[in-house]
Amino acid sequence: MIFITAKFRVLPDSADRWPEITGEFTRATRAEPGCLWFDWSRSIEDPTEYVLVEAFRDGDAGAAHVQSDHFKKAQETLPPHLAATPRIVNVTVPQDDWSLLGEMAVPGRD
């Protein structure tokens, strides 16, 4: 799978509205057949920083994502709300889901 983590520094006046601002893009991406997950989190230390954790089935699914109409629209509509260019880590990993964190196993609750 293609595993991507990106940090978005959002302008302060857009930070509280970021989930709404990205809502259409998020819903459309999650509906893509090759999207495994597409999840936003907000930093507890910096309220203007959001982290996006996303995964796609394979390179073809990732390519379909960046060629989609909703991605192209996001390229136009999201940058005006950003304080800086997002930073990204993009890797291919040989799995198709999250692994269990064995060091913090919770017996009987998995």
- pLDDT score recorded for residue 16: 98
Q: What is the mean pLDDT of residues 23-36?
A: 98
Are 38 and 30 in contact by the 8 Å Cβ rule? The answer is yes
CA distances (Å), origin 80, targets 23, 64, 99, 105: 16, 24, 36, 42
pLDDT tens-digit series, residues 1-20: 999 999 999 999 999 999 99
Residue 64, H or E segment: helix 59-66
Classify 109 in phi/psi space as left (phi over 0), alpha (psi -120 to 50) or beta: alpha
Has residue 109 got a pLDDT over 90? Answer: no
pLDDT tens-digit series, residues 46-94: 999 999 999 999 999 999 999 999 999 999 999 999 999 999 999 999 9
Q: pTM of the prediction?
A: 0.93
